[in-house]
Chain A
Amino acid sequence: MAAAEAERPSVTGRHISRKYDEALEDVRTSVLEMGGVVEEQISRSLAALAAFDSEIGERVVRDDYKINRLEVQIDEECTRIIALRQPAASDLRLVIAIIKTITDLERMGDEAEKIGRTAVRLAGNAPRRMRYAGVRNLGRHVQQMVHQALDAFARLDVEAAVAIAREDKMVDLEYAACMRELVTYMMEDPRRISEVLDMIWCARALERIADHAKNIGEYIVFLVKGKDIRHTSLEHKELQAQSEV
């Protein structure tokens, strides 16, 4: 079995201390576990919104603490690694990327909670499935983006990370279209204005989630290439991703 152990390729690389490797790999896995919970929360909040289901919505609100707890845990673990191991170079970048990623994940969780809360508030109204197709499609797109971001984080896949920035542009366009659609509804039927306003907040929350996913993509480029591509144009990002370290 020892031979098999040795041949396992490691994403985080090898150190003299096996414990160190394990600690880094564990904290990476925890981040992805947290990502899994966030994905589930987003998916549930969208389900709650689609059916105006207060039960699922309440569950989303109730479960947000799980994300917060994971964030605190991972944060502590990162602090411990910095204190004990004084990581350098790519390890340091990994720890920093993780600390930033979990902040974004936690914010995504908060946005999902907001959507859940809105679903609970709207629960009295009859769901109008066709009516909010725009928001639903936006939700689906954002969900996919979050999944891609986490996959890219697991695989340290720079190309996929830059692709997320491209997706974010699409989501922004979709968000704008969605807004126009919702405004039309308000003009058509003023009695529903408050309901449509709530939907606008949800669309806004989804757009924010997409932004956070984009941020995670940027941390991945920073982690792998050691280059900060925040607040730069898409073309610049693509160029940086292709360049050598």
Chain B
Amino acid sequence: MRRAWLAELWIIGGLFAAGVLIGYFAGAMPWWVAGAGVLYAAFNLRNARRYLGWVRGGLNDPPPDASGLWAEVMHQVLQERRNARDAAREADALVEQYERSVQALPDGIVILDADLYIRWSNAAAQRLIGLQDPEDRGQHIDNLLRHPEFTDYRQRGDLDRFIQIPAPTIVDRVIRVGLVPFSSGQYLLVCRDVTERVRIDRVRRDFLSNVSHELRTPITVLGGYLEMLQDATDELPDRWKRPVDAMHGQALRMRHLVDDLLLLSRMESLEQPDTREEIDIDRLAAQVREEAVALSGAREHRIELEVEAGTRVSGSVSEFRAMFSNLVRNAVQYTAEGGLIRIEWRLDEDAARFVVTDEGEGIEPEHLSRLTERFYRVDKGRSRDAGGTGLGLAIVKHALLHYDGELEIESEPGHGSRFACRFPRAIVIDSPPAPSPLAPSAPCVEGSGAVC
């Protein structure tokens, strides 16, 4: 750098000195000095022109000869260009590496623009969805992924949940597909072959339901004969009475267990309610309360019911009954004698809730997340005494899934628990039922809003 300036100064100095020297001998010194200035300017202009030509030519020709500052400028420009080239090459290598790693992913990836037109896809996506790259770039994804469930999913915009659909081009394969938004309003479509998982799930479910089914008959036969034995009081020696009672009790429990297992596997195998009918929540809740009172028996729980008359939802009666009675039965089982149990139906802007609150012993927070697992026991000894099957909450959870609902559990050890089935508001039928001329118009006297 310094050298370049020095060389430049030498040129200026030389020219000036030459001007002065010639002017000294030949006279008219100012003219000669000015002449040296003009010469210098001309020299610079010529270099500038050559330099400009070189830059315009894309720096591809060898740089023009120059000395002094111009040489330095050209040197710097060449250096910069070399750096930029290296950086670009590095960036290209990086991009290529990314592309190759995405290409190698076992999951299918399709990059979609904001309007869901295809921009790029990897090999797995091409195989699973049957895309062709690059021919399919610029197609709307709906044009090639036409399954109605995907169209629904896309239009609904509920992107958190992936969906399972049959693979469009491969026979008997199931894929899981979902959209993931990423930078600048684009989307990634992610898909994966889940055939194996779906198959294993089905085998497991079938096994469970087959086993339960096979167990049912022997248990029924055992229970029937044990009941006969119980009834034959005069023929049965006294010392056999207790064992027979106990056996009958266990046979009954086994039957409940098998029934619950069957119910659960049935619910698991469906994705939506088996039927859609109008259900009178108030009537159903009143029935469930009756059962609870019967179950409570001598333990005399106070069971309150608060459901607005005329509340109706659309769903499957058997599923709603299963949900309600399991929650209420649990409350009865885990609440001390004479304790209070409230059954309510609450409606707000976007959700409807069936709430069961008890004054039981409550549940420690570490158990809450695992309560809906099959056969999960908070306290090993306790629930067996109470006679539950250990499947109740699992049944509730699976039935709720059919309605896009959720089970909410709050509990405080020592103070009681609150179990709520939260349903989307849409299942509630809003229009009032056709008024029956026979319906009593007088308000109910007994209880708060209970059907009497």
Contacts and interface: CB of A to CB of B under 8 A. Distances in A.
A100 interface: no
B148 interface: yes
Interface in A1-53: 1, 4-5, 8-11, 25, 28-29, 32-33, 35-37, 39-40, 43
Interface string A62-89: 0000100000000000000000000000
Nearest to A28: B143
B146 A32 contact: yes
Nearest to B146: A36
Nearest to B151: A33
B184 A11 contact: no
A36 B151 contact: yes
Given A43-B166, A155-B132, A155-B136, A32 B143 contact: yes
B250 interface: no
A154 interface: yes
Chain A contact residues: helix, strand, loop or mixed: helix
Interface residues of A, number: 26
B67 interface: no
Rank and list the top 7 A-B pairs by shortest CB-CB distance, nearest first: A36-B146, A9-B138, A154-B143, A32-B143, A37-B148, A8-B138, A29-B140
Contact of B146 (A4, A10, A150): A150
A169 interface: no
Contacts of B140: 25, 29
Nearest to A154: B143
A155 B108 CA distance: 20
B135 interface: yes
A8 B113 contact: yes
Interface centre among A1, A36, A144, A155 (most CB of B within 10 A): A36
B111 to A, nearest CB: 11
A19 to B, nearest CB: 14
Interface residues of B, number: 27
A29 B143 contact: yes
A9 B136 CA distance: 10
17 contacts: A1-B184, A5-B113, A8-B117, A8-B119, A9-B137, A32-B143, A33-B146, A35-B146, A36-B147, A36-B151, A43-B166, A140-B171, A144-B171, A147-B168, A147-B169, A151-B130, A154-B143
B142 interface: yes
Contacts of A36: 142, 146-148, 150-151
A10 B140 CA distance: 10
Interface string B26-58: 000000000000000000000000000000000
A29 B142 contact: yes
Nearest to A148: B169
A36 B119 CA distance: 22
A40 B168 CA distance: 10
B185 interface: yes
B309 interface: no
B236 interface: no
B402 to A, nearest CB: 15
Nearest to A38: B146
Contacts of A4: 113
Interface string B255-297: 0000000000000000000000000000000000000000000
Nearest to B143: A154
Interface string B89-119: 0000000000000000000000001100101
A25 B138 CA distance: 11
B139 interface: yes
A155 B142 contact: no
Contacts of B143: 28-29, 32, 154
Given A1-B184, A1-B185, A4-B113, A154 B139 contact: yes
